[in-house]
């Protein structure tokens, strides 16, 4: 949840025992209303403060915890009315990954924790955007609408895509889009839709061949690497490019090769005799003996320098 909006729209009063004293209306009239400072960090509430407080609320182990959104201080919930936990359970039924429950309460903060006296509201934050599926609706056309399912809702992210892939545990969607160059101008761009920001899709690389597939393979350290396979529509020759998702750059290229194995932080590439004959047989579904194979350590490859488009 955006902190700026949170502080303005969802204030919460933490009242101490002094709150039971009669309110001095004349003193309040003389006092100018405080203007919310979006970027200021509020001081830690004390037992005698009337600081606005909104916080994340939920179970942690065997305890219930309240974390002050303004100060980021965590307080054990020492006492709370039954409706607080009941309301928490009600609003969090079926909550999505990345969602948090925010509570607006009245109570007293001490060094030991917070004693909640009354519950004003418990709400769910906007969930983190997670893609569970992506596809392209193009009918008999070469390109069409790229649609991804974000938190259960189909969402259009582009009007021009051919294939789409969900990556980084749903935190990114890749898709192939029109490009330039290559056989009959079949070149394509690999586009990335980053769900960690409110960004438009951005190009990762532009290739002279058609992008046939992109797979995510973890290196031996568990870090993801994108392996892209391309195909020349004229000669039918395959090519391989490896992308570092952190830099969004191609760090390795192998022409006239295809992926024949992946696992344990490595991929194996096969190359074939020069010419188009072997590739034509592969396209026809026949088994062709590679001229050579090469196994790559992806952890080393992803640290390589950026390789430009040939």
CB 114 within 8 A of CB 66: yes
Task: Give me the DSSP letters along 38-67.
Answer: TTPPPPPP-TT---B--EEEEEETTEEEEE
Residue 121 makes CB contacts below 8 A (sequence gap 6+) with 10, 103, 104
pLDDT score of 72: 76
Q: Which pLDDT tens digit goes with each residue over 201-237?
A: 999 999 999 999 999 999 999 999 999 999 998 888 9
Mean pLDDT along residues 146-161: 92
67 band by pLDDT with thresholds 50, 70 and 90: confident
Tokens 């809702």 appear where?
153
Residue 1 three-state SS: coil
265: phi > 0 → left, psi -120 to 50 → alpha, else beta; which?
A: left
Between residues 137 and 308, which one has the greater pLDDT? Answer: 137
Distance CA 167, CA 33 (A): 49
Q: For residues 288 and 238, is the Cβ–Cβ distance under 8 A?
A: no
Instruction: Name residue 156's beta-bridge partners.
Output: 147
List Cα–Cα distances, 100 to 47, 86, 107, 289, in angstroms.
26, 16, 21, 55
Span 172-184, pLDDT tens digits = 999 999 998 877 7
SS3 content of the chain, % helix, strand, coil (to 5): 15, 45, 40
Q: What's the token pair of residue 182? A: 């290559």
What Rg do the C-alpha atoms of the chain give, in angstroms?
A: 28
**Residue 291 CA, distance from chain mean position:** 41
Spatial contact of 228 and 190, defined as CB atoms under 8 Å apart: yes
Average pLDDT over the chain reads 80
Sequence-distant (6+) residues with CB within 8 A of 271 are 254, 256, 257, 290, 291, 292, 293, 294
DSSP secondary-structure letter at 17?
G
Residues near 31 by beta carbon (within 8 Å), at least 6 away in sequence: none
Quickly tell me which residue has 């259009």 as its tokens.
156
Structure tokens at 309: 């488009």
Both tokens of 116, joined, read: 């909640």
CA distance 162 to 144: 6
Domain borders along the chain are: 3-124, 129-208, 213-310
Range with the poorest average pLDDT among 73-82, 118-127, 134-143, 274-283? 118-127
In this prediction, residue 23 has a pLDDT band, given cuts at 50, 70 and 90, of very low
Indicate the range of 46-60, 116-130, 182-196 predicted with least confidence.
46-60
pLDDT grade for 2, boundaries at 50, 70 and 90:
very low
Return the higher-pLDDT residue of 14 and 296.
Answer: 296
Predicted confidence band of residue 74 (pLDDT cuts 50, 70, 90): confident
State pTM to two decimals: 0.62
- Give 233 or 143, the one with higher predicted confidence: 143
Supply the pLDDT for residue 18.
Answer: 33
* Confidence (pLDDT) at 213: 97
């Amino acid at each position: 949840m955006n902190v700026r909006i949170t502080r303005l729209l969802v204030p919460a009063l933490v009242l101490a025992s002094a709150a039971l004293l009669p309110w001095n209306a004349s003193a309040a009239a003389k006092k100018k209303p405080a203007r919310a400072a979006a970027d200021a960090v509020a001081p830690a509430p004390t037992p005698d403060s009337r600081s606005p407080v909104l916080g994340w609320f939920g179970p942690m182990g065997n305890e219930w915890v309240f974390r002050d959104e303004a100060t980021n201080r965590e307080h054990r919930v020492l006492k709370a009315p039954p409706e607080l936990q009941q309301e928490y359970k009600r609003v969090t039924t079926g909550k999505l990954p990345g969602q948090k429950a925010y509570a607006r309460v009245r109570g007293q903060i001490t060094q030991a924790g917070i004693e909640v006296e009354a519950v004003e509201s418990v709400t769910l934050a906007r969930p983190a955007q997670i893609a569970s599926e992506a596809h392209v609706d193009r009918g008999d056309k070469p390109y069409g609408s790229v649609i991804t399912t974000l938190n259960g809702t189909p969402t259009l992210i582009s009007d021009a895509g051919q294939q789409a892939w969900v990556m980084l545990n749903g935190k990114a969607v890749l898709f192939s889009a029109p490009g330039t160059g290559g056989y009959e101008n079949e070149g394509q761009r690999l586009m990335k839709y980053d769900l960690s920001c409110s960004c438009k899709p951005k190009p990762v690389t532009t290739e002279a061949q058609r992008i046939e597939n992109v797979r995510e393979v973890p290196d031996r350290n568990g870090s993801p690497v994108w392996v892209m396979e391309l195909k020349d529509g004229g000669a039918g020759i395959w090519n391989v490019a490896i992308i570092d998702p952190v830099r969004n750059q191609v760090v390795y290229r192998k022409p006239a090769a295809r992926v024949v194995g992946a696992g344990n932080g490595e991929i194996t590439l096969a190359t074939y005799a020069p010419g188009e004959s072997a590739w034509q047989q592969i396209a026809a579904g026949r088994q062709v003996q590679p001229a050579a194979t090469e196994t790559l350590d992806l952890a080393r490859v992803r640290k390589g320098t950026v390789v430009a488009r040939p």
